[in-house]
Amino acid sequence: MYKDIATPVRTKEILEKYGFSFKKSLGQNFLIDPNILRNIVSHANLTENSGAIEVGPGIGALTEHLAREAKKVVSFEIDQRLLPVLEDTLSPYDNVKIVHSDILKADVAQVIEEEMPGIEDIMVVANLPYYVTTPILMKLLNDRLPIRGFVVMMQKEVADRITAKPGTKAYGSLSIAIQFYVTAEIAMVVPKTVFMPQPNVDSAVIRLIKHENPPVKVIDEDFLFEVSRASFAQRRKTILNNLQNGLVNGKQNKELILKALEEAGIEPSRRGETLSIQEFGKLADCLYPHFCVRQ
């Protein structure tokens, strides 16, 4: 048996050996509790025929646990200083590929095609850098990757917003943008004490499983997200007010917005947080002929 990377003693040894210093700008916080890592991986339900995609492997703490469960692990690491560290710490595992790349610029679909031929069950499992959690998730969702879903760690506050239900304080345009593609649930809350260095906030692991079909069929997905963003611009304002302020030429076209709200069966005095994703879908389709300016 190999010694786990994610213990305080082993992590310190590795960092000292390579003279590694944390870069705040890259949001580097390494997990130092093997039990939590095992727990994260268990939520992904991987088998020996699964593939795992990881973002920001750090020194390989989560990577090695994925390598023990999955057929193939592909990890995207942006920090060049970590490449020799990973080569060392992950040397016992021949089913890991480290890609030195910014995940936001990478062609992930092509990497999957090259590195995971014949693997049909693929999950994204990662401790995401907190400062780019949302852009990473949205990119991987918009790329329409051949994956089953995600088990990812992030700031608890962001996890609450992603998994929020209508009528709650945390519910907003991010909830809609993510839940359009996946079912979302918090799998576990992770205290800040199990990281090195300790972040200022607690974290949560969320489990996102792709829908076979979106919960609502719309004319234009991007326009649905535009409408939802506009509807939450000022949470205390009514949906009518927010749409007038948020849509292109909305102020001059109050009557068209009122007509669309009526067609969708939505009271103009309601607030964005009370609308379900289905209601937003209906509303977006009613507004589309008047306000979607894309060619």
Task: For residue range 214-244, list pLDDT tens digits in order.
Answer: 999 999 999 999 999 999 999 899 999 999 9
Tell me whether residue 127 is annotated as binding.
yes
Domain that holds residue 81: 8-210
The residue with tokens 């390579």 is: 18
pLDDT at residue 111, rounded to an integer: 98
Same domain (yes/no): 248, 203: no
Q: Are strands 149-155 and 121-127 parallel, antiparallel or unpaired?
A: parallel
**Of the residues 156, 179, 210, the one at which a domain ends:** 210
Q: Is residue 2 part of a domain?
A: no
Same domain (yes/no): 200, 243: no
Instruction: Please compute the mean of the pLDDT values over residues 109-129 and round it to a whole number.
Output: 97
Backbone angles phi, psi at 12, to 5 degrees: -60, -45
d(Cα 92, Cα 144) in Å, to the nearest integer?
Answer: 33
pLDDT at residue 130, rounded to an integer: 86
pLDDT at residue 22, rounded to an integer: 78
Using alpha carbons only, what angle is made at residue 132 by residues 86 and 237, rounded to the nearest 5 degrees? 165
Confidence tier at 197 by pLDDT (50, 70, 90): confident
**Residue 138 in tokens:** 């949205």
Tell me whether residue 77 is annotated as binding.
yes
pLDDT at residue 293, rounded to an integer: 66
d(Cα 226, Cα 278) in Å, to the nearest integer?
Answer: 15
- Which pairs with CB-CB distance under 8 Å and at least 24 residues apart come from 164-172? 166/273, 166/274, 166/275, 166/276, 166/277, 167/273, 167/274, 168/273, 169/273, 171/273, 172/232, 172/235, 172/272, 172/273
CATH for 197 = 3.40.50.150
Same domain (yes/no): 164, 119: yes
Which among 117, 114, 183, 118 is positioned nearest to 148, based on CA atoms?
A: 183
Same domain (yes/no): 37, 139: yes
d(Cα 179, Cα 187) in Å, to the nearest integer?
Answer: 16
Q: Is residue 216 part of a domain?
A: no
Same domain (yes/no): 262, 133: no
Q: Which helix (H) or strand (E) holds 112?
A: helix 108-115
**Of the residues 210, 243, 277, the one at which a domain ends:** 210
Angle between helices 61-69 and 34-42 (to 10 degrees): 40
d(Cα 220, Cα 223) in Å, to the nearest integer?
Answer: 5
Instruction: Please compute the mean of the pLDDT values over residues 254-265 and round it to a whole number.
Output: 97
**Of the residues 163, 187, 210, the one at which a domain ends:** 210
How many domains is the chain built from? 2
Residue 135 has pLDDT above 90, yes or no: yes
pLDDT at residue 292, rounded to an integer: 82
Which residues face 52 on adjacent strands? 73, 123
Same domain (yes/no): 93, 206: yes
Tell me whether residue 102 is annotated as binding.
yes
Same domain (yes/no): 179, 45: yes
Confidence tier at 23 by pLDDT (50, 70, 90): confident
Tell me whether residue 120 is annotated as binding.
no
Which residues face 189 on adjacent strands? 204
pLDDT at residue 295, rounded to an integer: 44
Same domain (yes/no): 137, 229: no
Q: Is residue 141 part of a domain?
A: yes
Q: Among the ranges 72-76, 129-133, 211-215, which has the highest mean pLDDT value?
A: 72-76
**Residue 170 in tokens:** 């945390």
Same domain (yes/no): 176, 127: yes
Name the average pLDDT for the chain: 94
Tell me which amino acid residue 74 is. Answer: V
Same domain (yes/no): 123, 226: no
Tell me whether residue 29 is annotated as binding.
yes
Contact between 243 and 262 under an 8 Å Cβ cutoff? The reply is no
Instruction: Please compute the mean of the pLDDT values over residues 132-146 and round it to a whole number.
Output: 95
Percent residues over pLDDT 90 in the chain? 89
